Structure 1
């Protein structure tokens, strides 16, 4: 028994010093590992030992201008966390998607699309999708961290097809997929929904390699399976669908699983339903959480996301958010500059530079469009060569002009050495 406890302690110590990617893999191997690594004590200790920051970008919009504020429970506990912002980007942006690897997808009003890593202030402009089609929903998922490989899915509204009778019998959605390996957008088959349905504009929830959104009317869930480039639809738990139709339902991620929260009729409690078996879409009511004490001070409080197994992020409409530990009752409030009315984006990141091109610049240093070579080089990450790794530096210096100058310099150096050695031989 003692040896088993000793082994568990060693594993725990190793995990608290492991990278986010390693911890993520271990969670898939063991239920016990999944349980302990989502515990509040573990997440705080892991963030300290690995210099990882965890929190949320809270987004608001006023007068058609987007604002974002980063909030973290770390700011109320063990350290003074860095004030993350998106001010390093060349334009004011709207956050369109986030990942647990510290990569954000942003869009400007123009529009232009950027991927960025706020902790290192790196950014890269990516090609635009078909922006003449109105965006309905966007999501981003990281396939692999090292080397970085990510994909972006964008749903948009197609133009009316007047001579197509079936077009008016369903709600059709265009689907485009961006892959960092090819650095291009690819149009996929259109998604067909019931005529009265539409997609929620809230941020996508990434679970089990798929991106998920609620639909507005029937409160169904649409899942886009990235590896298969396909989608599926499934229902909420039956009691949630019948009792809470159109009422205070949030799609969330809980301990690596897809979950939904719904506010009770008394508005002083909420239910947490978790999809225990993703392949079979089996739901289980995990908790009924009472937050009556919180509502006495914050009547408009609503759940936004789960920080870990114990803490839920609650948002209000008066420039404040609350980290509520529903197991011990602890409350940490944070004030924001603006109301949270346009999305809550989960963010977890280290402070190591990443190759945001996903290796594409290394394989194709000039891209596919020669006309825009200079513009693409300007959109590369803005930081000094001393901060770059070898791969990033090589990507910056592998243009034709640089190689020609390098060859010319090498040629003159060889000539100089030849003449120098020849003169020495003559003198002897």
Structure 2
């Protein structure tokens, strides 16, 4: 790119702007016409999102009681802890899924209403109601068993998935599994039905990972991963490392690592990080083995939420911890100061910033 007398080369300016937080970037765009032009280019948007993927964070929804409005706390390994607001939605919502800087939120007072928003740019889209909702209901409480959000930054497209066991009004559930998929390009829902005998715990529902164009969940008992290909609406079962399946006393948690599926295995004394090196042949590799001796008292209640090659974020009942993988140091990032009714891991999501126009 060109350079101008008395100014930095355009490429240097782009590299600097690409490392700003989203809010600071939008302020920087107003400084001059050159910065606005450079930061609006497709190349810059792609670069910004690539840089942002290397800085995974944790978003935690904290509330004193179910009746009160919750607050969003963002723990960032680079910039510390900050608070985010979803007040631009003009609704009381619960965060149901997170992917590549976007959040899928459901309305608390109005069931069946969903939003997809970018909390950094404060843009959002109100999803149309599905026609299927008046004649079927998800079992057992009217809410979807699984809520997933898949966001493809390269083509600026997202999908929302609502899936669960359903029953026709007035009848018992019949064992079929209904899946509704929202497509941001068409602004419409599509439906397909399959038979599923899998069960998902509350923690499994939050642990959804979007890689290779598919959403992935752990089944209860951590027997395997269930994935949904969003391109062809096909479910697939993916095997876990043998040690994760057959070794007693382990807990497994599904996360992402550099665009790959990753499973973090927690035992009484160790945390093992596995990554899937070959998605088609389902080949796993042990990436790291971490002693939990110095946080022994917290081990029963720690849940890995997000990670990079450099660190792992974990949530406990009252704290957000970060483990620095190179220095082998543990650090408390955030602690609840009041008596929150739910443990932090129950409402914690992996998060990263991005430039995505979702409206």
- TM-score band w.r.t. shorter chain: 0.7 to 0.9
In the alignment, what sits opposite 1:409?
A: none
Alignment partners' CA distance in 2, 1:80 and 1:320: 14
Deviation at 1:24, TM superposition (A): 6.5
Query: Does the 8 Å CA contact 2:94/2:105 hold for their aligned counterparts?
Result: yes
Deviation at 1:85, TM superposition (A): 2.2
Deviation at 1:244, TM superposition (A): 4.1
In the alignment, what sits opposite 1:276?
A: 277
Could you say which structure has the higher helix fraction?
1
Alignment partners' CA distance in 2, 1:256 and 1:12: 27
Query: Does the 8 Å CA contact 2:62/2:73 hold for their aligned counterparts?
Result: no
Task: Look up the SS of the partner of 1:240 in the other structure.
Answer: helix
Q: Relative to structure 1, is the Cα distance of residues 219 and 69 closer, same or farther in structure 2, using a 3 angstrom cutoff?
A: farther
Query: Does the 8 Å CA contact 2:323/2:330 hold for their aligned counterparts?
Result: yes
Alignment partners' CA distance in 2, 1:270 and 1:13: 41
Alignment partners' CA distance in 1, 2:74 and 2:244: 30
Query: Does the 8 Å CA contact 2:159/2:184 hold for their aligned counterparts?
Result: yes
Query: What whole-Å deviation, never above 9, does each CA across 1:69-108 have from its counterpart, x for those lacking one?
Result: 322234xx5x5775312233212111111111x2111001
Alignment partners' CA distance in 2, 1:12 and 1:290: 41
**Pick aligned residue for 2:148 from 125, 139, 145:** 139
Deviation at 1:159, TM superposition (A): 1.2
**Pick aligned residue for 1:69 from 49, 68, 72:** 72
Query: Does the 8 Å CA contact 1:154/1:176 hold for their aligned counterparts?
Result: yes
Alignment partners' CA distance in 2, 1:321 and 1:212: 24
Query: What whole-Å deviation, never above 9, does each CA across 1:270-295 have from its counterpart, x for those lacking one?
Result: 11121110011111222211121133
Q: Relative to structure 1, is the Cα distance of residues 158 and 24 closer, same or farther in structure 2, using a 3 angstrom cutoff?
A: same
Alignment partners' CA distance in 2, 1:160 and 1:214: 27
In the alignment, what sits opposite 2:33?
A: none
Query: Does the 8 Å CA contact 1:57/1:68 hold for their aligned counterparts?
Result: no
Alignment partners' CA distance in 1, 2:49 and 2:353: 13
Deviation at 1:321, TM superposition (A): 0.7
Q: Relative to structure 1, is the Cα distance of residues 306 and 126 closer, same or farther in structure 2, using a 3 angstrom cutoff?
A: closer
**Pick aligned residue for 1:192 from 184, 190, 195:** 195
Unaligned 5+ segments in structure 2 are: 1-10, 19-43
In the alignment, what sits opposite 1:252?
A: 255
In the alignment, what sits opposite 2:119?
A: 118
In the alignment, what sits opposite 1:105?
A: 104
Could you say which structure has the higher strand fraction?
2
Unaligned 5+ segments in structure 1 are: 1-10, 28-36, 44-53, 358-428
Deviation at 1:223, TM superposition (A): 0.5
Query: Does the 8 Å CA contact 1:139/1:203 hold for their aligned counterparts?
Result: no
Q: Relative to structure 1, is the Cα distance of residues 162 and 279 closer, same or farther in structure 2, using a 3 angstrom cutoff?
A: farther
TM-score by length of 2: 0.74
Is the counterpart of residue 234 in structure 1 residue 234 in structure 2?
Answer: no
Question: Over aligned residues, Cα RMSD in angstroms?
Answer: 3.4
TM-score by length of 1: 0.63
Deviation at 1:347, TM superposition (A): 1.8
Give the number of equivalent residue pairs. 306
Alignment partners' CA distance in 1, 2:331 and 2:93: 29
Deviation at 1:13, TM superposition (A): 11
Matches within 5 A, 1:12-411: 18=18, 19=44, 21-22=46-47, 38=54, 43=55, 55-59=57-61, 64-65=66-67, 67-74=70-77, 79=79, 83-100=83-100, 102-109=101-108, 110-111=110-111, 112-129=113-130, 130-131=132-133, 132-133=137-138, 134=142, 135-144=144-153, 148-159=156-167, 171-188=175-192, 190-194=193-197, 197-198=199-200, 200-217=204-221, 219-244=223-248, 247-264=250-267, 267-295=268-296, 298-317=298-317, 319-333=318-332, 334-336=334-336, 338=340, 339-350=343-354, 354-357=356-359
